[in-house]
Structures are given as structure tokens and as C-alpha cells.
Amino acid sequence: MLRNVAAVLLDGVNPFELGVVCEVFGIDRSDDGLPVYDFAVVSAQGPSVRTSTGFTLGTEHGLKRLETADLITVPAGASYASREFPPEMLDALRRAVDRGARVLSVCSGVFVLAAAGLLEGRRAAVHWKHAQELSRRYPHLTVEPDVLYVDEDPVITSAGTAAGIDACLHLVRKEQGPEVANRIARRMVVPPHRDGGQAQYIERPLPEPGGDSVAGVLVWMEQHLDEEVTVEQLAARAHMSPRTFARRFQQETGTTPYRWILRQRVLLAQHLLERTDETVDAIAGRTGFGNAAALRHHFVRTVGTTPQSYRRDGVSGAVPAASAGGAAA
């Protein structure tokens, strides 16, 4: 049942991410025959909180309001990736899940859910800029850096900014059917469902060389994406044994050499599709995929769309929305 919804806030909350859940669940659309939610904004830190952009929000609701919520949303906020959270707030979230409520995070709000222990052994989505930090701080969860949202009922997590809309509409669709979700989306003037994921928006990482690390090898790998290399060859460049190199690589990048180079090849393909008129076959050769079929296979798995569609639509094109599952890299 989805009737009672609360958004719980901390100092530094991002207004847009709060606005997302207010827009989906906080507006009376009964004139359109749509459900009306019992919606409340809850402060975890007194009667008012300061937003990340400097203005203050006031609310009459404290954490006790969460005890009756069917859904508790946690919008993103400034420094959520590195701060501590009030123990009473984390306890309230745990009690809510224990009694059968759902929790949904938008962007860095996922760090609150992780701190509450609600993501142990689960998959989670987050803005791609926070993916590595989330993995580092909470190694017992699986970060899906490419998707717009992940539904691990009763915990739903979403990536940056507008991906929160996708997650909220997904939950409405799941609980109240596609017609309700579509009509809410129509009122909001947003797509009711988008295919693809946030992978198409990720910038190419620029490793910083350091001392006892694999950064220098990462730079070399990025400059030789069209070449086939083995872990043994890479380890020799790093002056390490293959076992040590593989372990160190995983520690510093959060992935394996194969997956890292595959991702860099896809990112280079995206760059060439955006900036050049080269054919897909030529791009496949330059990126180490060898042929257009192999490029298309890995591109679709990683980005969620074909190279041709990506070039036609561009990163700002009408990309329909990620699934509740993760894209493989």
C-alpha cells in the first residue's frame, strides 16, 4: 500500500532532490482522478533545516512522523558522502523497514540508508561521482554505477538529480499501475519511463600518478586502448607480480583490469561518436573492439543504447529509463 509518504531532511538538503519527491507525492491531483498521498516533510534536526543553497526550511514534523509512513524518502544533501548522521534518524529508518515500510533515496541520500545498515548485501544506485566513495565506505553492498535506479524492495536507491523522478515513478507504477504513473508523469511533463542509464553521462576518469600504485599503468592503458594486453604484461609494467597487481588494481579502482579497460573503451567510443564523423567500424578499431558488432554489444550493455542511437540522440537526447537491474561493464 502506498498512501502515507514522508521526506526526511537534514541540514544541507538539496532543494531540487527534495522537490522531486514533493512533486511526485506531495501535490493534490485528485481533480485528475489521481491518488492523494498523505505527504509530510520531516526534519531530523529540529523545526528547521538549512538547504545546500542557503535558505532555511521549516516543518512541524519530527522523526515521530516516520512511524506511520508507508514510504520514507531521503533526498540528497551536501556532504552526505562524508558526514555522520543522527543515530535517532538511523534507528527510525531501521524500525520503519522492520515494520514493512519502504525507503527510497535520491542521489547521495543513499549514504543515509547505508549508514543505517539497510543496504548490507544489496545492490544500490548513486550518482556516478559518488560510486567509488560509496563502495569504499560500505564494501558489503554492490554499487551499480550505470543505472538510474535499483529496486531492492523494500529499499530503492536512485542516481543523481532527475533519476529520483524515475525511481519515484517506478514505485508508483509498481504499486498503483502504469496508468497512474503515466498520468502523474504527464502532469509533470516528464517521460513516464526512460531506458538507458547514467553511464552515458559519466566523464572519463583521469588517474593521478602516484608512488606505490597502479596509476602510471592506468595512464598507459588509457593511451593504448586499441591494444590487447594481459594482466601479466600490465603487472610487469607496474613492477609487481600478477597477483599483487590484480589486488592493488582492485583496491585503487574498485574493479578488475578487464572491466576497467572495457569501460574506458566504451567511454572513448562515446567521445568519438560525439566529436567525430568516423564510422562505427572505424571507431570500433580505434577503441580496441575490432568490429562494429563487438562495439555494439558492449556499448548496449554499458550505456543502454546502440552507438547509432547514441550518436543520433546525443547525451541530451530523449533517452527512455534504466531498469531496476544493473548494466554489466
CA-closest candidate to residue 287, choices 265, 263, 261: 265
Residue-level pLDDT at 317 = 32
Name the residue among 75, 124, 117, 126 with its Cα closest to residue 96: 117
Alpha-carbon span 211 to 188, nearest angstrom = 51
**Measured between alpha carbons, how far is 54 from 40 in angstroms, rounded to an integer?**
22
pLDDT for 142 equals 93
Same fold flag, 4-193 and 201-313: no
Q: Per the structure block, which three cell numbers stand in for 35?
A: 491518488
**pLDDT value of residue 327:** 31
Q: Specify the CATH number of the domain 201-313.
A: 1.10.10.60
pLDDT at position 76 = 96
186 Cβ neighbours under 8 A, 6+ residues apart: 192
Cβ pair 154, 100 in contact under 8 A: yes
- Which residues of the chain fall below pLDDT 70? 192-213, 313-329
The pTM (predicted TM-score) of the whole model is 0.64
- Parse the chain into domains and list their residue ranges: 4-193, 201-313
* The length of the chain, given as a count of residues: 329
Q: Which CATH superfamily is domain 4-193 in?
A: Class I glutamine amidotransferase (GATase) domain (3.40.50.880)
- The single-letter DSSP state of residue 66 is G
